[in-house]
Amino acid sequence: MPPVPTPVAAALPAREDDRLRALHALLILDTPPEARFDRIVAFAAQEFDVPIALISLIDHDRQWFKARLGLDVCETGRDVSFCAHAILQDAPMVIDDALADPRFAANPLVLGEPRIRFYAGAALETPQGHRLGTLCLIDHQPRQLDATGLAILRALRDLAQAELLGPPAEAA
């Protein structure tokens, strides 16, 4: 009998302690929903015609959703998080078909609810380079994202990032 595949947890980012300090300094974890973030995920879901859109923040052992559309839970374990993989990359991470990707084929979020097949996530980054989470899109069907879609995802990520981090400091 072949071995049962297991999900692949993401590696920890370089300077993880600094990244977590930056995340916790925002005092946003476990806060109530806010319209400014909810509008962004609602627009993303509509623009890309996906059933799920999220603004996720990657904490020590969980991913917590500051805004969510199409998903009932407010957090999942970091060990099964797609977004924990996405924050390790400079460019948006796009998974056309999670069942065909060895990192995710055995993931319980793929095999069970919410049955992720497509994922696209762009990292939310501080000016110091700490990637705190993502703006992400999820579908139950495999799909692809073209260059225009990637540009729109980055633009929406930039909006979410600006809301998360506040206005940039004035130049001296």
Q: Is residue 4 part of a domain?
A: no
Give the mean model confidence (pLDDT) for residues 108-127: 96
Of 159, 140, 116, 122, residue with least CA distance to 49? 140
Residue 13 confidence class, pLDDT cut points 50, 70, 90: confident
Q: Ramachandran region of residue 129, left (φ > 0), alpha (ψ -120 to 50) or beta?
A: left
Q: What is the 3-state secondary structure (H, E, C) of 45-78?
A: HHHHCCCEEEEEEECCCEEEEEEEECCCCCEEEH
Specify the number of domains making up the chain: 1
Residue 1 lies in a domain: no
Domain-located, residue 154: yes
pLDDT per residue as tens digits for the range 58-115: 999 999 999 999 999 999 999 999 999 999 999 999 999 999 999 999 999 999 999 9
Q: Sorting pLDDT into bands at 50, 70 and 90, what band is 12? A: confident
pTM of the shown model: 0.91
- Taking the C-alpha atoms of residue 11 and residue 33, their distance in angstroms, rounded to an integer, is 29
Residue 100 domain flag? yes
Contacts of residue 155, defined as CB under 8 A and 6 or more positions apart, other chains included, come to none
Is residue 137 assigned to a domain? yes
Which tokens is 9 given?
Answer: 């947890």
Domain that holds residue 129: 16-165
Q: For the chain, give the number of residues.
A: 172
- The average pLDDT across 105-128 equals 96
Helix (H) or strand (E) holding 125: strand 118-125
Cross-strand pairs, 53: 69, 137
Q: Is residue 70 part of a domain?
A: yes
Provide the sign of the torsion angle of the four alpha carbons 143, 47, 42, 40, taken in this order: positive
Q: What is the residue whose two structure tokens read 């996530």?
A: 121
Residue 22 has pLDDT above 70, yes or no: yes
Inside any domain, residue 139 = yes
Question: What token pair was written down for 35?
Answer: 């319209």
Instruction: Classify residue 3: in a domain, yes or no.
Output: no
Q: CATH number of the domain that 54 lies in? A: 3.30.450.40
